[in-house]
Structure 1
Amino acid sequence: MEPKQELSSIDLAALVTELGRYEGAKVDKAYLYGDDLLRLKMRDFDRGRVDLFVEVGDIKRAHTVAPEHVPDAPGRPPNFAMMLRNRLNGADFAGVEQYEFDRILVFKFERGDEDTEIVAELFGEGNIAVLDENREVVSSLETVRLKSRTVAPGSQYEFPQSRINPLDVSYEALEHKMNESDTDVVRTLATQLNLGGLYAEELCTRAGVEKTLDIAEVGEEEYRKLYDAIERLKEPLQTGEFEPRVYEEEDRVVDVTPFPLKEYEELDAVAFDSFNAALDDYFYRLDLSDKAEKGGGGAEANRPDFEEEIEKQKRIIQQQEGAIEGFDEQAQEERKKAELLYANYELADEVLSTVRGARDENVPWSDIADTLAEGAEQGIPAAQAVEDVDGSTGMVTITIDGQRIELDVSMGVEKNADRIYTEAKRVEEKKEGALEAIENTREKLAALEKRREEWESDDDEEETDDDEERADVDWLSKQSIPIRQQDMWYDRFRWFETSDGFLVIGGRNADQNEEIVKKYLNKHDLFFHTQAHGGPVTVLKATGPSEPARDVDIPERSREEAAQFAVAYSSIWKEGRFADDAYMVSADQVSKTPESGEYVEKGSFVIRGDRTYYDDVAAEVAVGIRCEPDTRVVGGPPSAIEDDTATSVRLQPGRYAQNDMAKMLYRKFRERFTDQSFVRKVASADKIQEFLPSGGSGVVDGDGN
């Protein structure tokens, strides 16, 4: 029996009932794992932390997740996650609905400035669309353009065509739909009544109707039994009184349901208090099973997962660095508040004295708030500064120069300022603790990397150094590909390695163009640029940044590849042109000093002396996955990339937007590799997008290897 990987419509109907109990929870943050798993971290005032998972890839599910089952947050959040954070931070979860009886959930969020809906399509290829208050698509994981519907940024969201809801069908409608069929009972229930195979069989069993009975032989007695079985099936879905079960077969999970099924009476079952808890347990154990099956055997299976643990420590360091930066900002903000209080002493004192005097006369807090609001309408500066009056805490919030400051009414201005200064000091002390923690994490990371090096050095002794034998490795067919990744100093730039092994770097914007020339352009490097305006500064490195500059013989092939790189990532790609001219000069011909009376804007430079031109250079790039000596996405001129990768796709200017092309390539790579988990880890759509030129792209016929 194959384990269930997608939730059914009945599962979703049960889920909606339970998730409704979290209405009012506050959204803290959104995360996107890979390209298809969304996590919303929320705070429920009765239940505490709530992590909501929505997955729309090979696995299609939605449910809350226990903290111990939540994976570490991914590194740099992709654009989709950042967009959600901007829209949902501090928003209230306003509930969830199932669209008719389809496998579609609509999550609703409310915030003062804007409302947001997240539509999770848990069918077909799967998709998540984010809608604004006008139901216009803000963004989506996948762009859908069909005759029947469109899901694309800027368009009105369109649901798929409605299908019958078997839980709302009348007896007459059931009888009519069944009589339209020309097959047996169970298939008719599954297809005509939209019940799916499992619940169609369950209804037949509960009703005592033979599954394979031909519709032509079915009469009112059987229809009545089936209708009564549907009515009994929907009772718990309406009341929310579930008896969830996770079903097991041969020590592995195979299904999860909101109530016991007669079809599964022969299977072992584990009961849960809530359907969300059952779903969490099921999919967590299903994931562990998948990892175990894909792990393979032999020495590689016994190899510690250094990469995962190293990535974990790097993520922790990144989080700690972010926290330290946050502490600095918070401490600075608190000090600014205290300074603003002193700078506006009379205003703050007038607010405090007014509220304190009213409280001494037992004036209710609500009346104080009304009086201050009236004063603000009359133009009284002190009253206009008051943002909020909170009688439950005895605090008044004022706004000075756009800064919100909370004042304790029981204190004067000085003591309030001292209280704020004390908070700034407390934050700074937390920063000291965080600095100590980050050093400990860095030590753990260094120890892990050393252990990995020792392990791999042992492996190297057993491996052949024969380059031809290495080239024969069929990476696409390998069941498990070891991940070897290392952050490089040039990762934040555009970059590739030429066919001769020389590094080429290019700027992504004017700031990086400036940085590359000022910091990384050495004496014997070569500088490339397009004739067209709006191209990246491109530098062909003769030596690394930490190496002494020396004169190196750079082959013509590498120079041509650098010229093509400069052309492909320039503005001509966005303009849809397929070729342009480029030129090359030596490092000493590049200057930031303009001629007298002229001005050189940021990211631009003055070129003096003769240039070497490359005419009609093709605007083409290849993007692929390299498996040795490291595992990563690479992109650049096809002649440099295609021989360096296990598989690649060649591109030219075309009609597919950058993010859409990144997703297309991700799917292509997943189809080509047997080890699809490897592709998810090293070649997500976001990582692929970093190597795509700005603007639309199309796949070249005979698209690489």
Structure 2
Amino acid sequence: MDPKRELTSVDLSALVTELNRYEGAKVDKAYLYGDNLLRLRMRDFDRGRVELILEVGDVKRAHTAKPEHVPDAPGRPPNFAMMLRNRLNGADFAGVEQYEFDRILTFDFERGDEDTEIVVELFGQGNVAVLDETGEVVRSLETVRLKSRTVAPGAQYEFPSSRLHPFTVSYEGFKRRMEDSDTDVVRTLATQVNLGGLYAEEFCTRAGVEKTMEISDAGDEEYRAIYDAIQTFHDRLKSGDFDPRVYTEDGNVVDATPFPLKEHEAEGLNSESYDTFNEALDEYFFAFDRSAEDEPEEEPGSNRPDFEAEIEKKKRIIEQQEGAIEGFEQQAERERERAELLYANYELVDEVLSTVRSARDESVPWDEIRQTLEDGAERGIPAAEAVVDVDGAEGTVTIEIDGTRIEVEVDMGVEKNADRLYKEAKRVEGKKEGAMAAIEDTREELAEVKARRDAWEEDDEDDDEEPEEPEDIDWLSRSSIPLKTEEQWYEQFRWFHTSDGYLVIGGRNADQNEEIVKKYLNKHDLFFHTQAHGGPVTVVKATGPSEPAQEVEFPDSTKREAAQFAVSYSSIWKEGRYADDAYMVTPDQVSKTPESGEYIEKGSFVIRGDRTYFRDVEAKVLVGVQCEGETRVLGGPPSAIEDHVEAAVSLQPGRYAQNDAAKMVYRRFREMFEDQSFVRKVASPDKIQEFLPPGGSELLDN
């Protein structure tokens, strides 16, 4: 049995009950590991330190963790983590909810100055969106732009379309879903009733119903038994009366559940019980991570990745996605057929709707309406014979036409009911488009794995021949690039090295402008700024902060690159302008002392004396990935960066928000490099964003 990598909707229902016991805990800090693991450290009055883990990558999970199971804090926090710290530091955890029966959790945090909601999507590609009090997206790990929904900074967050909730649906609604199916019982429960494979099988077993029974052979007795089993399970979920288990097979963890499952017992799996479901999940994923790390290599003494397992995994995902697409196509076609049947039988449907609507206008109870229709059917009235169900709670009538059951809303006419079905077909087709985009991504990933496998095997053959290492390494085609990084003091600022090797630093904000001038501007350095208000203090360093002062004759190329840096990272980029003037002065011309009666804002300075101007400097930056020596993202004036990177993207002011532009650049790098893991670690969107100017950007063809 393959180990569980994602929490189910049932898991989340149980998890919400336990997590809400931490209501009132205060947030201390937020951490982001890589692109998809978020950790919130909180303090609870009764329980002390609380570590909340949220992961939305290949593994999708949410639970509290023991401190000893928490990974060490990463180095410099990325922008997403800094944003969360600013919004959540000292905030109170106000509770968590599961959105309907979807694999979505919404965490609420309250603070005097602002409230924050974190939406964690534990399905599909996975995502975390941070919302303000109005529901507007402040930041998200991934930007989503589909016909059906949008998740992007500045937009209102949109949940996916609602799906059936198997725990709250009425028996009549449950029965209709079952009867509308054309497959067996267990598949109908898994897909149409939204239970998923494991729990569909579990409820069949608990109800004593044969899983493979065709729907055409099932009836009220089977439906009622399954429905009752689901409701009994739901009652235990609501009460919080859990009996959590971690299941193992051959010594390896394979599942964690809030209750013992008969399906797992039938498979002969061993289990261990825990006091809380959070503890069970923590132990499960801690063991799961260790087993992944300790997995033996394919060949003793070899570090060859298990390409075949990765390829099989991608193939399984593609099969699942193809199945989903086929399901969406069938569902959309069924909705259109229902709409067309309404129009084809317009008079009959209109008679049913008019009759029921007239009775409701006269306050006739729904039970009497149902009885009247049953009596009419016995007398052979065609409109009454077509009615197979009346649902007063929903205000609907189900009509059977040519063997197809159609639920119509009484308050709508025939046209509006048909239009509703056409719209539903369109909505489902939108989901199909999203699934088709996802399957293309997976196919690309499969091709990448196969290419890495082939490259590895070619490398093995080359190693056997022991050729000399070529002078020019094709880093883009290498299947594995070693990482080598070393943090420097200037990385807290904007920075680059000129084509002549001189360090240039610039402020990211007013505080950093002040710090650079007061602490890092030495007498032999050069100071640059733009004519436009709102630019970074830019300093070309003659020597490092710990080196003795030394007079330097800076080349013109270094001065031009520093001027372009000052212009590109100034307010003119936000304004969408493509060029501006910059000037250069010496440090003794820079002062914080204003003229009498004047006021200087924080981060601003008085410049006295003559200035050297650089006219009409182009606003343009190049962002690239360095592989020789250190491995890292570099960004700045194109002439300074291009010779030091293996892959690069040029940008100018444009329409894409900084966050979106960083992700677009990241995708370009993924297309260029064979070693996808290297790109994720070295050139993640957060790291790229540190080198992008504030405001919108446009990617250029290099």
TM-score class, shorter: 0.5 to 0.7
How far does residue 630 in structure 1 lie from its aligned partner after superposition? 1.6
Structure 2 counterpart of 1:269, one-letter code: N
Task: Structure 2: state its 5+ residue gaps.
Answer: 305-465
CA distances 1:297-339 after superposition (whole Å, capped 9, x unpaired): 999979xxxxxxxxxxxxxxxxxxxxxxxxxxxxxxxxxxxxx
Residues matched between the structures, number: 535
User: Pairwise mapping of residues 261-410 of structure 1 onto structure 2 (< 5 A)?
Assistant: 261-264=261-264, 265-266=266-267, 268-273=269-274, 274-292=276-294
- The farther-off stretch of 289-298 and 180-189 is 289-298
> Is the CA contact (8 Å cut-off) linking 1:589 and 1:609 kept in structure 2?
no
Alpha-carbon distance in structure 2 between the residues aligned to 1:299 and 1:507: 49
Alpha-carbon distance in structure 2 between the residues aligned to 1:299 and 1:488: 36
- 2:17 corresponds to: 17
> Is the CA contact (8 Å cut-off) linking 2:594 and 2:606 kept in structure 1?
no
Residue 546 of structure 2 corresponds to residue 549 of structure 1 = no
Residue 165 of structure 2 corresponds to residue 165 of structure 1 = yes
How far does residue 522 in structure 1 lie from its aligned partner after superposition? 6.2
How far does residue 279 in structure 1 lie from its aligned partner after superposition? 0.8
- 1:536 corresponds to: 536
User: Pairwise mapping of residues 143-542 of structure 1 onto structure 2 (< 5 A)?
Assistant: 143-144=143-144, 146-151=146-151, 156-207=156-207, 209-249=209-249, 251-264=251-264, 265-266=266-267, 268-273=269-274, 274-292=276-294, 469=471, 471-474=473-476, 477-478=479-480, 481-509=481-509, 512-513=512-513, 516=516, 528-541=528-541
> Is the CA contact (8 Å cut-off) linking 1:673 and 1:679 kept in structure 2?
yes
SS at match of 1:230: helix
> Is the CA contact (8 Å cut-off) linking 1:476 and 1:646 kept in structure 2?
no
Alpha-carbon distance in structure 2 between the residues aligned to 1:651 and 1:222: 63
SS at match of 1:61: strand
CA distances 1:9-39 after superposition (whole Å, capped 9, x unpaired): 1111121222233344444444443443333
- 1:412 corresponds to: none
SS at match of 1:650: strand
Alpha-carbon distance in structure 2 between the residues aligned to 1:593 and 1:19: 52
Q: Could you say if the C-alpha distance between residues 299 and 88 of structure 1 is closer, same or farther in structure 2, counting changes exceeding 3 Å? A: same
Alpha-carbon distance in structure 2 between the residues aligned to 1:46 and 1:688: 41
CA distances 1:446-472 after superposition (whole Å, capped 9, x unpaired): xxxxxxxxxxxxxxxxxx9x9953633
> Is the CA contact (8 Å cut-off) linking 1:564 and 1:619 kept in structure 2?
yes
Alpha-carbon distance in structure 2 between the residues aligned to 1:31 and 1:147: 32
Aligned-CA RMSD value: 4.2
Alpha-carbon distance in structure 1 between the residues aligned to 2:271 and 2:653: 55
Alpha-carbon distance in structure 1 between the residues aligned to 2:211 and 2:96: 35
- 1:627 corresponds to: 627
Q: Could you say if the C-alpha distance between residues 570 and 673 of structure 1 is closer, same or farther in structure 2, counting changes exceeding 3 Å? A: same
- 2:54 corresponds to: 54
How far does residue 280 in structure 1 lie from its aligned partner after superposition? 0.6
SS at match of 1:223: helix
Alpha-carbon distance in structure 1 between the residues aligned to 2:168 and 2:507: 59
Alpha-carbon distance in structure 2 between the residues aligned to 1:276 and 1:613: 61
User: Pairwise mapping of residues 29-44 of structure 1 onto structure 2 (< 5 A)?
Assistant: 29-44=29-44
> Is the CA contact (8 Å cut-off) linking 2:565 and 2:636 kept in structure 1?
yes
User: Pairwise mapping of residues 533-682 of structure 1 onto structure 2 (< 5 A)?
Assistant: 533-541=533-541, 543-545=543-545, 546=547, 549=550, 551=552, 554=555, 558-582=558-582, 587=586, 592=591, 603-604=604-605, 606=607, 611=612, 613=614, 615=616, 617-666=617-666, 669=669, 678-679=678-679, 681-682=681-682
Q: Could you say if the C-alpha distance between residues 67 and 2 of structure 1 is closer, same or farther in structure 2, counting changes exceeding 3 Å? A: same
Q: Could you say if the C-alpha distance between residues 268 and 642 of structure 1 is closer, same or farther in structure 2, counting changes exceeding 3 Å? A: farther
Q: Could you say if the C-alpha distance between residues 300 and 514 of structure 1 is closer, same or farther in structure 2, counting changes exceeding 3 Å? A: farther
Q: Could you say if the C-alpha distance between residues 492 and 84 of structure 1 is closer, same or farther in structure 2, counting changes exceeding 3 Å? A: closer
- The farther-off stretch of 468-477 and 51-60 is 468-477
- The farther-off stretch of 271-280 and 119-128 is 119-128
SS at match of 1:471: coil
SS at match of 1:490: helix
Q: Could you say if the C-alpha distance between residues 641 and 297 of structure 1 is closer, same or farther in structure 2, counting changes exceeding 3 Å? A: farther
Alpha-carbon distance in structure 2 between the residues aligned to 1:625 and 1:568: 20
Alpha-carbon distance in structure 1 between the residues aligned to 2:253 and 2:664: 32
Q: Could you say if the C-alpha distance between residues 547 and 290 of structure 1 is closer, same or farther in structure 2, counting changes exceeding 3 Å? A: farther
- 1:107 corresponds to: 107
Alpha-carbon distance in structure 1 between the residues aligned to 2:509 and 2:134: 34
Q: Could you tell me the percent identity over the aligned residues?
A: 66
> Is the CA contact (8 Å cut-off) linking 1:600 and 1:606 kept in structure 2?
no
How far does residue 101 in structure 1 lie from its aligned partner after superposition? 0.9
Alpha-carbon distance in structure 2 between the residues aligned to 1:299 and 1:614: 61
How far does residue 109 in structure 1 lie from its aligned partner after superposition? 4.3
How far does residue 267 in structure 1 lie from its aligned partner after superposition? 5.5
SS at match of 2:576: coil
Structure 2 counterpart of 1:227, one-letter code: Y
Alpha-carbon distance in structure 2 between the residues aligned to 1:651 and 1:640: 14
CA distances 1:411-458 after superposition (whole Å, capped 9, x unpaired): xxxxxxxxxxxxxxxxxxxxxxxxxxxxxxxxxxxxxxxxxxxxxxxx
Q: Could you say if the C-alpha distance between residues 526 and 280 of structure 1 is closer, same or farther in structure 2, counting changes exceeding 3 Å? A: same
Structure 2 counterpart of 1:272, one-letter code: S
Structure 2 counterpart of 1:73, one-letter code: A
Alpha-carbon distance in structure 1 between the residues aligned to 2:303 and 2:549: 43
How far does residue 276 in structure 1 lie from its aligned partner after superposition? 1.1
Alpha-carbon distance in structure 2 between the residues aligned to 1:52 and 1:671: 34
CA distances 1:92-148 after superposition (whole Å, capped 9, x unpaired): 544332221111223344566765543322223333344555555555444555554
Alpha-carbon distance in structure 2 between the residues aligned to 1:126 and 1:283: 17
How far does residue 287 in structure 1 lie from its aligned partner after superposition? 2.4
- For normalisation by structure 1, the TM-score amounts to 0.65
> Is the CA contact (8 Å cut-off) linking 1:522 and 1:587 kept in structure 2?
no
SS at match of 2:54: strand
Structure 1 counterpart of 2:695, one-letter code: G
Alpha-carbon distance in structure 2 between the residues aligned to 1:573 and 1:86: 25
Q: Could you say if the C-alpha distance between residues 180 and 199 of structure 1 is closer, same or farther in structure 2, counting changes exceeding 3 Å? A: same
Structure 2 counterpart of 1:186, one-letter code: V
CA distances 1:559-584 after superposition (whole Å, capped 9, x unpaired): 5443432332122211112233456x
SS at match of 1:484: coil
> Is the CA contact (8 Å cut-off) linking 1:247 and 1:267 kept in structure 2?
no
Alpha-carbon distance in structure 1 between the residues aligned to 2:68 and 2:619: 49
SS at match of 1:73: coil
- 2:397 corresponds to: none
> Is the CA contact (8 Å cut-off) linking 1:209 and 1:222 kept in structure 2?
yes
Alpha-carbon distance in structure 1 between the residues aligned to 2:228 and 2:218: 16
Alpha-carbon distance in structure 2 between the residues aligned to 1:297 and 1:7: 33
